[in-house]
Structure 1
Amino acid sequence: MGSHASRDFPNKSPYPLPFHHLIESLRTLPGIGIKTATRLAFHLLKAPEEEALQLSREISGLREALVLCPQCQNIMDRDSRLSCCTICADPARDPGTVMVVEDIQTLYSIERTGEFRGRYHVLLGRLSPLEGIGPEALRVRELLDRTGTGEIHEMILATSPTVEGESTALYLARLFKPLGVKVSRIAFGIPVGLELEFVDDITLIRSVEARRPM
């Protein structure tokens, strides 16, 4: 089976080649292992033809149907009558408070909480010198342009608590503080029920820094 062969099928796949290829394609999705991919493939095989075709159309047309918001880099409907995404267009949200995130997925994770009523800016990545990702590869210029309008007065850095995420937050803080913008960093706490001995160093440090009186 050439390059499509998998080490999970040491001799040959027990399935017909098209079905095997579908399983291998599903396995490229995050968090999908061989068992889940196989189960999904059988589901698609047993599903009504129109359901499977509809899913195929949605996947194939996804990139064409979406564009990035020119203000915050969130995804938005290409055919939308709005000039920006629905979050940026919402007059009830505070345009002066902007939360900076690494990716669009994080934006929606925060949005699901319903607690943040400002706006966002998506970097579409994080600094990683080892991978050759510098500031020019991120949407920092767009953030500078937004800051230049004088509308932003507070910037909340919500990058990941990793070495790369911390480096990104530090870089942005040094860049925007001299511009008169209040810059803050989200706190990282310790999950309830987790023994401290199993908590990583960065989370422990952040938890101590974010301590509060009792």
Structure 2
Amino acid sequence: MAGAEAYDFGQLLGEGGFAKVYRARRRSTDEEVAIKVISKAQAKKMKLQARVRNEVRLHRSLSHGHVVQLLDVFEDDASVYLVLELCDRRNLYTFLRQQHRRGGSMPVPMVVVLVRQLLKGLQYLHARGIVHRDLKLSNCLLKFWRDPRGKRRVTLKIADLGFAAQLDHPAQEQFTLCGTPNYIAPEIAKAGAHGLPADLWSAGCIA
């Protein structure tokens, strides 16, 4: 398995409490990817080692057009590296901000397309017993491309499985307080039992 030396690291795309995401290029294939670098020391300090292991375990099992693809995982003494599909450096939050600054809004047909794609990705996760628990605009990445006729298209991909949980059956519930305040379902906000429907609330907030 390749290590960090197999990649040329470039622009910092984003960062959080214990991880940074970089644009990178795989030297052997010239493929552009995103690499999430998780600090082991920070994860330990924040008592999030189990969360990191869970994210890797769940993400490895997934392959769907509306979920960001995990391409590789490796680690060294200091960090865990998640090599991910690159999605144009844009998420739904930054895209909407750009539209607003230009005095415009997202066309209704595009809204319909993106919401459908979000729900397809969510349906895939739920069919595998995975509740995301942190759906929000910034965790919806956008990949722009052109079809054979040259028409610009966009694909939405769900990202960041850091708070995701695997359920043994659809009715199983979790009790962890997690997520982002503006998007979390009321039952999570009250630190109560929650399951797959909590993601539907978050999807509604996004829509």
Fold match by TM threshold 0.5: no
The structure with higher relative contact order (CA 8 Å, sep 6+) is 2
Q: TM-score, normalised by structure 2?
A: 0.21
Q: Which of structures 1 and 2 has the bigger CA Rg?
A: 1
Is the strand fraction higher in 1 or 2? 2
Is the helix fraction higher in 1 or 2? 1
